[in-house]
């Protein structure tokens, strides 16, 4: 399917349709449904960064960025006293920071999580259309019906869901504490209703033996990793450790040396003595990995076969919608404000608090930042 500029603001962005995998297995999610910001010259980039830095101070604002967004945004967050981390740590950092305006570079559920934890603060995002396939694939209305049909199960949802879905849940979990929390519930004799990522759910079910009823969702990025191609790549790099995010298919997870959250994979690169790593998660994290372990060799895991035009193209199309100009627009124009209905916010806050309380009482249930890590590296 050919791409065509359909956005109202065609000077700054181009809209793309998502090409599903073809008969040869070739696919690329790099531009799926996304409005990709126009490239900036070095001069324009420097000018916009300087204006953002000044406005962050002037507006009592802080920039928080996810590991998967553009490296320029990650660096800018670090340079200005913000943070680069996973989605939950982004929200916690914003909650605990003195700034009254949070600029969240990520996808919409991350902005909602920040608003849930910081209701008195203004939360702005570079592009409100930046969403998540897991969020999109779990509409609140359908999810509530699913839950109501199985009232005997504890509802456990992944962080990658809307505020409305979290409001229906008993627990929210991240990929780093999900195993411990589901095991805890199993030990209490509970049966689980899990949503939305089926790969993460299957991995947790296999590890814990819990009775889990799965919602059928998947991340369009991690779902594209190929077990057969990974096996071939490992033969070419026999010294490489394979790092896999558990949102990946079973055939990929089965070949991993480390299965873990973004922070756990980053921790593995920094602390392991291995010289090479094959990384099966969004390639946006490679920017931070290279900064923290500059002498390590990082290889992207394959998302397609040899005939594909893009052998390894694991990058979230919605994360790619975040750009410097969008951050500047937030600060200059107040665009991209996140709002959450108060009744929904209160209910959603409950399932997040339950997770945070569990982790506080069971510190071994979650990965701790290692020595040498940036502050607030997070654990989700």
Residues of the chain with pLDDT under 70: 1-34, 366-380
Total-model pTM: 0.87
For 251-375, list the strands marked E by DSSP. 258-259, 276-280, 297-300
Instruction: Provide the pLDDT for residue 260.
Output: 92
* Measured CA distances, 115 to 36, 57, 90, 108, 181 (Å): 25, 21, 11, 11, 24
Instruction: Provide the pLDDT for residue 363.
Output: 83
Instruction: Provide the pLDDT for residue 38.
Output: 85
Instruction: Provide the pLDDT for residue 7.
Output: 29
Instruction: Provide the pLDDT for residue 2.
Output: 30
Instruction: Provide the pLDDT for residue 211.
Output: 98
Instruction: Provide the pLDDT for residue 199.
Output: 97
Instruction: Provide the pLDDT for residue 37.
Output: 87
Pair 33, 332: CB distance under 8 Å = no
* Measured CA distances, 113 to 51, 118, 305, 336, 339 (Å): 27, 8, 37, 15, 11
């Amino acid at each position: 399917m050919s791409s065509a500029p359909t956005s109202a603001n065609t000077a700054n962005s181009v809209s793309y349709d998502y090409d599903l995998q073809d008969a040869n297995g070739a696919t690329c999610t790099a531009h799926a449904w996304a409005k990709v910001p126009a490239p900036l010259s070095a001069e324009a980039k420097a000018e916009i960064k300087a204006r953002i830095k000044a406005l962050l101070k002037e507006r009592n604002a802080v920039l928080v960025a996810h590991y998967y967004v553009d490296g320029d945004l990650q660096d800018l967050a670090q340079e200005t006293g913000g943070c680069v981390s996973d989605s939950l740590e982004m929200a916690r950092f914003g909650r605990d920071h003195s700034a009254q305006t949070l600029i969240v570079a990520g996808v919409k559920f991350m902005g909602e999580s920040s608003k849930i934890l910081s209701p008195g603060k203004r939360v702005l995002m570079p592009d409100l259309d930046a969403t998540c396939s897991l969020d999109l694939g779990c509409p609140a209305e359908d999810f509530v019906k699913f839950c109501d049909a199985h009232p005997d199960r504890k509802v456990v949802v992944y962080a990658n869901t809307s505020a409305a879905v979290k409001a229906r849940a008993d627990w929210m979990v991240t990929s780093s504490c999900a195993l411990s929390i589901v095991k805890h519930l199993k030990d209490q004799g509970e049966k689980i209703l899990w949503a939305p990522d089926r790969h993460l759910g299957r991995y947790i079910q296999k590890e814990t033996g819990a009775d889990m009823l799965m919602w059928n969702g998947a991340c369009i990025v991690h779902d594209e990793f190929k077990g057969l191609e990974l096996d071939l790549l490992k033969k070419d790099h026999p010294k490489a450790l394979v790092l896999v995010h558990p949102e990946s298919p079973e055939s990929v997870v089965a070949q991993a040396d480390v299965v873990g959250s973004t922070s756990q994979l980053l921790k593995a690169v920094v602390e392991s003595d291995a010289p090479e790593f094959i990384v099966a998660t969004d390639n946006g994290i490679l920017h931070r990995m290279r900064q923290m372990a500059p002498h390590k060799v990082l290889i992207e895991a394959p998302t397609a076969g040899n005939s594909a035009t893009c052998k390894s193209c694991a990058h979230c199309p919605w994360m790619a919608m975040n750009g410097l100009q969008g951050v500047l627009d937030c600060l200059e124009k107040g665009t991209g404000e996140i709002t959450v209905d108060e009744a929904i916010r209160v209910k959603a806050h409950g399932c997040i608090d339950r997770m945070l309380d569990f982790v506080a009482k069971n510190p071994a249930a979650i990965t701790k930042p290692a020595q040498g890590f940036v502050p607030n590296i997070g654990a989700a």
